[in-house]
């Protein structure tokens, strides 16, 4: 009995000592978004609220962005550990020497397309002939548009290209100075409808010109030195998007809590569009975030042909699936 009592006392002391030790600190991780809060970002806020990141030992800070180009530069400078950026923008920047790489491909169908007033009756690519199209000189959409013309056998001379600043494209369509604009099904489409005008969208992906959309990027040093952390982050991101698919309203509620002045209805409309863009035919069934070789190879080819990219690098050098659960 005496020996048992001593053992019990020793165990109690050990437990007490362990209880007094501080819990292991979570890894502080910052994520730079590609833009201000939009529907695509809502699942991330849901994941943070539900503890998916803390479950992986991550203390996540979400920073709004000012464009994919800025997100790439910030991650390339190691000011944020992760970022969200359009794959094409990331490839071009990486080829110029910014040391970043996609570690997850959560949007494998591009939202880029032709957004129009519904009363312009643009239902097929051929309907663009004879119409006025608001575009911005030098942006990625305008550079890719010749691929749409080629893929659909359009007569470019029959499309009146009206060059305006990015913010003026929606105004041009609303004021009927243009019939349509080059934009995004999850952005300008909702900006037009928010003004009480019925909109229509013709996605590039549906008319022969798909590129990988938004990807999660990290610095090359992070990829080499922090594999375990990336795996945990990617797992939490995947859980977040899976949860948003099951309960979109919960994702919107979580996002609005972080920024109460956003329009919840617009945010949900954007999210519902984006959830349909997560998986391409090539990546379907392989898990949210999987990057398919066919999609990345096609993206690289289009960048070379239409955006002036000159590189000897293979598409596989710009992305990886190694951090996905089960890889």
Q: Are residues 172 and 220 in the same domain?
A: no
Q: Are residues 218 and 73 in the same domain?
A: yes
Q: Are residues 101 and 227 in the same domain?
A: yes
Residue where one domain finishes, among candidates 189, 207, 225: 207
Q: In terms of residues, how long is the chain?
A: 327
Domain assignment of residue 105, given as a range: 27-109+211-317
Q: How far apart are CA 60 and CA 79, in angstroms?
A: 14
152 contacts 207 by C-beta, under 8 angstroms: yes
Show pLDDT as tens, one digit a residue, over the chain (327 residues).
444 444 455 555 444 444 554 456 899 999 999 999 999 999 999 999 999 999 999 999 999 999 999 999 999 999 999 999 999 999 999 999 999 999 999 999 999 999 999 999 999 999 999 999 999 998 889 999 999 999 999 999 999 999 999 989 999 999 999 999 999 999 999 999 999 999 999 999 999 999 999 999 999 999 999 999 999 999 999 999 999 999 999 999 999 999 999 999 999 999 999 999 999 999 999 999 999 999 999 999 999 999 999 999 999 999 999 999 987
Q: Are residues 105 and 218 in the same domain?
A: yes
Tell whether 19 is covered by a domain: no
Q: Which two tokens stand for residue 313?
A: 């690098």
Q: How far apart are CA 201 and CA 112, in angstroms?
A: 9
Q: How far apart are CA 38 and CA 58, in angstroms?
A: 23
Beta bridge partners of 29: 60
The residues near 56 (Cβ < 8 Å, ≥ 6 apart) are 232, 233, 235, 236
162 contacts 177 by C-beta, under 8 angstroms: yes
Q: Residue 68 CB: number of other CB atoms within 10 A?
A: 25
The alpha carbons of the chain give a radius of gyration, in whole angstroms, of 23
Could you give the 3-state DSSP secondary structure of residue 274? helix
Q: Are residues 188 and 234 in the same domain?
A: no
pLDDT at 8: 52
Give me the CATH number covering residue 234.
3.40.190.10
Q: Are residues 144 and 89 in the same domain?
A: no
Q: Are residues 116 and 180 in the same domain?
A: yes
Q: Are residues 251 and 278 in the same domain?
A: yes
Q: How far apart are CA 41 and CA 324, in angstroms?
A: 19
Q: How far apart are CA 141 and CA 30, in angstroms?
A: 29
Could you give the 3-state DSSP secondary structure of residue 30? strand
Tell whether 12 is covered by a domain: no
Q: Which two tokens stand for residue 3?
A: 């020996």
Closest to 234 measured CA to CA, from 291, 178, 315, 294 = 291
99 contacts 220 by C-beta, under 8 angstroms: yes
pTM over 0.85: yes
35 contacts 17 by C-beta, under 8 angstroms: no
Q: How far apart are CA 64 and CA 35, in angstroms?
A: 6
Tell whether 6 is covered by a domain: no
**What total of structural domains would you count in the chain?**
2
Going across the sheet that includes 82-86, the strands are 58-63, 27-32, 82-86, 214-219, 100-104
């Amino acid at each position: 009995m005496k020996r048992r009592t001593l053992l019990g006392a020793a165990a109690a002391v050990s437990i007490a000592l362990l209880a007094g030790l501080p819990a292991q600190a979570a890894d502080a991780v910052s994520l730079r978004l590609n833009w201000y809060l939009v529907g695509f970002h809502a699942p991330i806020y849901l994941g943070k609220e539900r503890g998916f990141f803390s479950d992986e030992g991550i203390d996540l800070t979400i920073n709004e962005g000012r464009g994919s180009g800025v997100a790439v530069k910030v991650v390339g400078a190691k000011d944020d550990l992760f970022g969200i950026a359009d794959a094409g923008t990331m490839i071009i920047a990486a080829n110029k020497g910014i040391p970043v790489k996609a570690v997850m491909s959560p949007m494998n169908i591009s939202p880029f397309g032709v957004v129009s007033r519904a009363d312009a009756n643009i239902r097929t690519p051929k309907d663009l002939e004879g119409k006025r199209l608001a575009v911005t000189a030098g942006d990625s959409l305008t550079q890719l548009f010749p691929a749409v013309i080629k893929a659909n056998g359009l007569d470019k001379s029959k499309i009146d290209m009206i060059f305006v600043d990015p913010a003026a494209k929606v105004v041009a369509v609303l004021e009927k100075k243009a019939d349509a604009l080059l934009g995004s099904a999850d952005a300008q489409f909702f900006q037009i409808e928010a003004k009480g005008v019925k909109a229509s969208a013709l996605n590039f992906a549906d008319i022969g010109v798909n590129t990988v959309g938004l990807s999660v990027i990290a610095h090359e040093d992070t990829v080499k030195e922090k594999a375990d952390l990336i795996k945990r982050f990617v797992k939490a991101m995947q859980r977040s998007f899976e949860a948003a698919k099951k309960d979109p309203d919960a994702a919107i509620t979580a996002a609005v809590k972080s920024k109460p002045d956003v329009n919840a209805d617009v945010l949900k409309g954007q999210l519902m569009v984006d959830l349909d863009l997560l998986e391409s035919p090539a990546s379907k069934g392989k898990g949210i975030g999987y990057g398919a070789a066919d999609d990345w190879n096609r993206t690289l080819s289009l960048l070379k042909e239409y955006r002036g990219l000159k590189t000897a690098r293979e598409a596989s050098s710009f992305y990886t699936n190694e951090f996905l659960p089960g890889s």
